[in-house]
């Protein structure tokens, strides 16, 4: 950890403006200080990454950022941060670097082509908050260990609503002592931090969570179809189920976060998540054909379920509108994969 350097140049008293690209970071402290002395680097100010970064800055941590597009910095208006012109400069100034990017390939690009990995000092903790393959996470941890860098795979669940409410679930794989160091940072935007085990296990836990959500969606869809065939009042039935033992997030989401407007888009994103799940489980020697088939059916049926519910308004207050409890999520910086409402 390093103490915050008061001499680092920041415009407007650190209220959301760029700092000097030539600012020289202080060196690692010989002894640990308080958690707030961690200097946090951040790459990825997208739909979910931006509110996570805001939470970190608002919690009092020194925030270092690098962006491809100037407009991305608007998400940090009014908050203290230091902008760096290169990834290497950001890495050299940080005790921990969080990556909130779309895919493993994006992570690899900033680490290698961008020079981030080579700039990190021994003892730095590198955190990948995106959803990806467990095998890549484990391999990255091995590569980073060669230069003394610790890696945590820490995908998050809860989507933008969860990030804005500081209610994400952060699912972590990697060394427990590294997690202990950065846990206060995670707690700035999380209601739950779960340590799953060794490197890669955070991604495995996240992918299983994703698959279970879609399987639960399939259960809900089958019940709604049955009730519709029986000419039951779907609004009254849904109101009942939201408070009964059959309650699930998949049902709650259909009464709030999932709408007829966004259901098709969410379906497409869930299919992508299942592609990652299938590839990951196959690489780990698991036959998940039955799970994959059932979960994909739940993803594909989301639009029809949304239309059924839309025709049967629910009066209860037990919906998941804006809920931070959703399962699928990734840190998406751009419109090419706009993040799931309840992810």
Tens of pLDDT, residues 100-113: 999 999 999 999 99
Q: How far is CA 258 from the centre of its chain?
A: 19
257: number of Cβ within 10 Å? 23
Alpha-carbon gap, residue 107 to 89, rounded angstroms:
17
Alpha-carbon gap, residue 334 to 32, rounded angstroms:
37
Alpha-carbon gap, residue 77 to 58, rounded angstroms:
12
One of 2, 206, 218, 267 is an active-site residue; which one?
206
Q: Looking at residue 330, what is its pLDDT?
A: 56
pTM comes to 0.82
DSSP 109: I
* Residue 340 among the catalytic residues: no
Q: What is the CA radius of gyration of the chain?
A: 21
Q: Looking at residue 36, what is its pLDDT?
A: 75
Which two tokens mark 85? 């012109």
Which distant-in-sequence residues (6+ apart) come within 8 Å of 233 by Cβ?
312
Alpha-carbon gap, residue 242 to 301, rounded angstroms:
20
* Strand partners of residue 197: 173
Whether the CB-CB separation of 220 and 250 falls below 8 Å is answered with yes
pLDDT tens, residue order, the chain (343 aa): 443 333 333 332 233 333 433 333 323 333 345 567 899 999 999 999 999 999 999 999 999 999 999 999 999 999 999 999 999 999 999 999 999 999 999 999 999 999 999 999 999 999 999 999 999 999 999 999 999 999 999 999 998 889 999 999 999 999 999 999 999 999 999 999 999 999 999 999 999 999 999 999 999 999 999 999 999 999 999 999 999 999 999 999 999 889 999 999 999 999 999 999 999 999 999 999 999 999 999 999 999 999 999 986 655 444 444 433 344 445 654 433 434 434 4
Q: Looking at residue 63, what is its pLDDT?
A: 98
Q: Looking at residue 26, what is its pLDDT?
A: 29
Whether the CB-CB separation of 310 and 259 falls below 8 Å is answered with yes
List of E strands, the chain: 39-43, 62-66, 82-83, 96-99, 125-128, 150-153, 156-157, 168-173, 190-197
Alpha-carbon gap, residue 29 to 252, rounded angstroms:
48
Q: Looking at residue 289, what is its pLDDT?
A: 98
Q: Looking at residue 159, what is its pLDDT?
A: 87
């Amino acid at each position: 950890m390093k103490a915050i350097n008061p001499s680092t140049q920041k415009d407007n008293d650190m209220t959301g403006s760029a700092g000097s690209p030539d600012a020289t970071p202080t060196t690692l402290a010989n002894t640990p200080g308080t958690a707030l002395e961690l200097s946090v680097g951040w790459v990825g100010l997208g739909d979910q990454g931006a509110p996570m970064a805001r939470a970190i800055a608002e919690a009092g941590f020194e925030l270092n950022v690098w962006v491809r597009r100037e407009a991305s910095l608007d998400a940090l208006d009014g908050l203290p941060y230091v902008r760096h012109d290169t990834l290497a400069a950001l890495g050299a100034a940080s005790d921990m670097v969080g990556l909130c990017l779309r895919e493993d390939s994006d992570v690899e690009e900033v680490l290698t082509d961008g020079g981030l990995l080579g700039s990190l000092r021994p003892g730095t903790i590198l955190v990948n908050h995106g959803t990806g393959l467990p095998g890549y996470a484990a391999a990255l941890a091995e590569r980073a260990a060669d230069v003394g860098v610790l890696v945590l795979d820490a995908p998050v669940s809860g989507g933008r609503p969860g990030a804005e409410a500081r209610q994400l679930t952060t699912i972590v794989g990697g060394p427990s002592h590294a997690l202990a160091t950065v846990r206060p940072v995670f707690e700035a935007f999380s209601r739950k931090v779960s340590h799953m085990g060794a490197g890669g296990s955070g991604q495995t836990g996240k992918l299983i969570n994703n698959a279970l959500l879609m399987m639960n969606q399939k259960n809900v869809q089958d019940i709604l179809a049955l009730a519709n065939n029986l000419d039951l009042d779907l609004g009254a039935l849904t109101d009942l189920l939201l408070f009964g033992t059959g309650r699930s997030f998949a049902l709650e989401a259909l009464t709030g976060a999932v709408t007829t407007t966004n259901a098709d888009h969410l379906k497409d994103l869930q299919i992508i998540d299942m592609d990652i799940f299938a590839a990951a489980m196959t690489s780990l020697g698991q036959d998940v054909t039955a799970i994959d088939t059932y979960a994909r059916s739940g993803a594909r049926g989301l639009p029809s379920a949304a239309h059924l519910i839309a025709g049967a308004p629910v009066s209860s207050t037990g919906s998941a509108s804006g809920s931070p409890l959703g399962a699928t999520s990734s840190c998406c910086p751009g419109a090419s994969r706009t993040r799931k409402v309840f992810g």
